[in-house]
Structure 1
Amino acid sequence: MSKKKNSYKKFSLKKKIILTCVSIISLAIISFFTGFGIYAYKLNKAIPMELSSEVSQQNQSVIKELYTEPLIQNLPYSVKVDDIFIHAKSAILLDASTGWILYEKNADEVIPPASMTKVVLMYLALDALEKGKIKLTDKIDLPPESWAKNAPPHSSLMFLGKDQNVTFEEILIGMNVVSGNDAAVAVAMCLFGTVENCIAKMNEVVKNLGLTKTHFVEVSGYSENNLTTAREFAIFSRSYITRFPESLQKYHSIKSFTYPKKHNLPSYIDYEDAKVNGIPLEGTMPITQKATNRSLDVIPGADGLKTGYINESGFNLSLTVLRNGTRLISVTMGGPGNGSIEGNKFRTEDSLAIMNWGFALFRSERILDCYKMNTKAPGGTEKSFILTESILDNHFITVPNLKDASGKFLPLTRNITVDEKIEAPITLGKQYGKIDYYMGDYLLQTVPLVADRTISEGNIFVKLYGKIYNLF
């Protein structure tokens, strides 16, 4: 009898243990899935934590660095277009907003830039102004090397001379409008002490832009040993315009220049007498010159940039034109011509042809809203983050001028794709999707969708919840 009782007690104890274990396990399962339910509910309702202004700016800088666009690149889609005839040996056309190349002809042929060289010197001058190293109103000492009478034969000149009173701004205008070689020397020596120091800085600037075929041995463009290509000078021109857009109106679109004026002459020279008896090369006779860039008078919307000519280069031009919100940049080099009249004629014909062709076929369209979407981060220490386009600001697309049956431009559309099963860890700047921009059947551009922050993995339960969440 006692044995039966003992057996019954043992059975009851085992039953209690089993029931207790089952209860504990059931409770654990219920608790786990209740916790998961609460987690999933909160995850679905989660709004990304707002980043501080400082952290947000730092993160944006990281994204911009990760997804830096090249200064110029091939058009990322193909479209059938009619070819154009260009007299120049070498040419290139691009959209200034995107850097997308619309047309090119022998764009990598190495040719002396001639006076287009002065745009690089102008870049250094505007950089110095921006950094407060000099002011536009500063009076500039003119060393003998900068006097017109000491310039090489057949130089373009603004007619600087001994004892003149001239500001830095006037010299910049003279260098850009009438392509004064004397002005280029004055700017170089004013900023860097010697022409040699300036040349070194010019070469440093183009090297930093990755221009391997561009090199300078003097500052005005007079030497045939200054070298560049249409492609590389287009890169530089876009960089210059992007950084100093105000320079176009201030310096590059002026159509004529008179120098010296009354206030420029030394006190011992009578201005009225100088008009009649002055000597140009001595800088004592006021002279009005038209801008060397004749395209300003001929091409609608032209507002820069710089001409160039020496015998070894032919007729060169870096040109920019703005029409209806679209800015194009062309560089033509090695243009033909017997003398300046014929050379300017062919150069202008080329520029008009290439610009009219470009504007007829393409335009820039700005994406006003940088696409952003709240995105869950299962398994993370934060429940959500923001997916954002990798192009955070100034997003332009070069679009073809396609029209519907009614004659209206086709609209720009976008298709959004987000990766499935995203889970922590989330990495700042990592791609988790994309946006495809279309016009009609043309895929114009694909832009990565990237994380706006880094999110670490949570604890073991959060990680497990995240894994389970992604199963559904």
Structure 2
Amino acid sequence: MKRVRLHQKLSITIISFMALSSFGSVVHGESKAKINADAAILVNADTGKIVDKYNEDELLGIASMTKMMTEYLVLEAIDKGKIKWSDTYTVSDKVYQLANAPGLSNVPLRADEKYSIKELYEAMVIKSGNGAAIALSEVVAGSEGEFVKQMNAKAKDLGMERFQFVNSSGLSNYDMLGMHPEGTDVNDENMVSAEDMATLAYYLIKDYPEVLKTSGANYKYFRKGTDEEYLMKNTNAMLKDRAHFYEGADGLKTGTTPFAGSTFTGTAERDGVRYISVILDAKDQYGQPSSAERFIQTGALLDYGFTQVQTAQFSLDDAVKKKTLPVKDGKEFEVEMAVDKPLKVRIPKDEISNVNVRFNVDKGKLNKNGELQAPIEKGEKIGELVLVNKKKDEYILDELEKETKVDVYADSSVEKANWFVRSARNIGEFFGKLF
């Protein structure tokens, strides 16, 4: 769990050394979903709460999941008006060579041809086009080297702590035909911890939810109706009608290289609840990297979230025996308390016994005798119903951690009694105390 948005200023060389040494390979126990991968995490996409994890803070290869950061920066540039979907890009020599290199995931791009930003973006998100990703980096930053600087700066801005971005596509630098970005080394790799990949996914979905419409597209034609027409098949096999279909799945990004193994950042929504999952270097039963296992194990993580985590619901009755508070100087002697809605929290079934609620009255509204002072307006806030959890929850960012609570308010108005009534009561109270 990250403490604050502060980051160690380590050189790329030092970070790479840490990732490849035993110093950066701390084992944190077994995940609840029994994941067989180098690292994994499951996060509530609405709150950022960590539901399950394994080696979540270890710096590991991410391959084409790198494109998620490229997606974020492209969508940010669109949002800020720096570029438009209809803008066109003329293919550079570097992009041409890498977009047509054998063995690399691509949508072929023609030399000196113009393509719209939208076309390149869809080729990157759906088909994992490496040439398209590099082209977009040139559009946004002028060069891929400058774009890499923006990637690392944005990671810091988002609160990520364990990361190293060295190119826009997720290729290994040594596969870039000697054209790796300026300022990086030929042996550098894109590396991010599972927790930080979940953080990137959290903000990508939160800030630009439209990304799911593209990442959730099973198939789409590139330049349909032209002589460049190309059927793009999504690399995500958990989408509808695919080998590992998972109900509610609509993103986000796969990744595969010899260095990173088979990786996947997935997300799915059911009944208004969305989870983000990350699997880094999924293994089969023989301990070998497995493309299928990244989807199978993602399904296991998501199943845990949807079936073993439930919504616990609490009302004011769970916190107090009597739902009224005494009122001083009112026409009525007390006022009924109410809440607009019950307090709800998603929590693993085996941890339900750890949670309860308490009522916190606003002490500023009470006199020394613990009474509210009339007049009181209906709907006036008089306290809060707060969740109490014996086990401290963990979040991908500490700044996302907050009390789970709902307001408690007066369910009716209590007018102030007139002077005569108040005086009579005060006299009665005086003699009551006297005798």
Shorter-normalised TM range: 0.5 to 0.7
Residue 438 of structure 1: CA displacement? 6.7
Specify which structure has the higher proportion of strand: 2
Q: Where do residues 270-309 of structure 1 align in structure 2 (5 Å cutoff)?
A: 271=227, 286-296=229-239, 297=242, 298-309=245-256
Shift of the 449–352 alpha-carbon distance from structure 1 to 2, 3 Å rule, reads: closer
Equivalent position to 1:246, from 188, 210, 218: 210
Shift of the 446–125 alpha-carbon distance from structure 1 to 2, 3 Å rule, reads: closer
SS at match of 1:158: coil
Shift of the 154–237 alpha-carbon distance from structure 1 to 2, 3 Å rule, reads: same
After superposition, the C-alpha distances for 1:160-213 in whole angstroms (9 at most, x for unaligned) are 112434211111110011100000111000111111111111111001122221
Is residue 2:59 matched to residue 1:110? yes
SS at match of 1:115: helix
After superposition, the C-alpha distances for 1:100-127 in whole angstroms (9 at most, x for unaligned) are 1110111112111110110101101101
Structure 2 residues not aligned, in runs of 5+ = 6-29, 173-187, 315-324, 326-338, 368-381, 394-401, 408-435
Is residue 2:171 matched to residue 1:208? no
For 2:126 and 2:99, the matched residues in 1 are separated by 20
For 2:117 and 2:92, the matched residues in 1 are separated by 14
Scaled by the length of structure 2, the TM-score of the pair is 0.64
Is residue 2:198 matched to residue 1:234? yes
Is residue 2:79 matched to residue 1:136? no
Equivalent position to 1:316, from 263, 266, 282: 263
The 8 Å contact of residues 282 and 289 in structure 2, kept in 1 or not, is answered as: no
The 8 Å contact of residues 326 and 364 in structure 1, kept in 2 or not, is answered as: no
Residue 87 of structure 1: CA displacement? 2.1
Query: Relative to structure 2, which stretch is displaced further, 304-313 or 253-262?
Result: 253-262
Letter aligned with residue 89 of structure 1: D
Aligned partner of 1:255 in structure 2 is 218
Equivalent position to 2:32, from 66, 78, 83: 83
For 2:4 and 2:346, the matched residues in 1 are separated by 15
The 8 Å contact of residues 256 and 289 in structure 1, kept in 2 or not, is answered as: yes
For 1:222 and 1:312, the matched residues in 2 are separated by 10
Q: Where do residues 305-454 of structure 1 align in structure 2 (5 Å cutoff)?
A: 305-336=252-283, 343-363=290-310, 397-400=345-348, 415-420=358-363, 435-437=385-387, 446-447=403-404
The 8 Å contact of residues 148 and 161 in structure 1, kept in 2 or not, is answered as: no
Shift of the 148–255 alpha-carbon distance from structure 1 to 2, 3 Å rule, reads: farther
Output the aligned Cα RMSD: 4.5
Is residue 2:171 matched to residue 1:222? yes
The 8 Å contact of residues 436 and 443 in structure 1, kept in 2 or not, is answered as: no
The 8 Å contact of residues 319 and 331 in structure 1, kept in 2 or not, is answered as: yes
For 1:235 and 1:357, the matched residues in 2 are separated by 20
Specify which structure has the higher proportion of helix: 1
Shift of the 159–443 alpha-carbon distance from structure 1 to 2, 3 Å rule, reads: closer
The 8 Å contact of residues 36 and 284 in structure 2, kept in 1 or not, is answered as: no
The 8 Å contact of residues 434 and 449 in structure 1, kept in 2 or not, is answered as: yes
Letter aligned with residue 291 of structure 1: N
Residue 83 of structure 1: CA displacement? 3.1
Shift of the 287–242 alpha-carbon distance from structure 1 to 2, 3 Å rule, reads: same
Is residue 2:75 matched to residue 1:126? yes
Shift of the 150–83 alpha-carbon distance from structure 1 to 2, 3 Å rule, reads: closer
Scaled by the length of structure 1, the TM-score of the pair is 0.59
Q: How many residues align?
A: 325
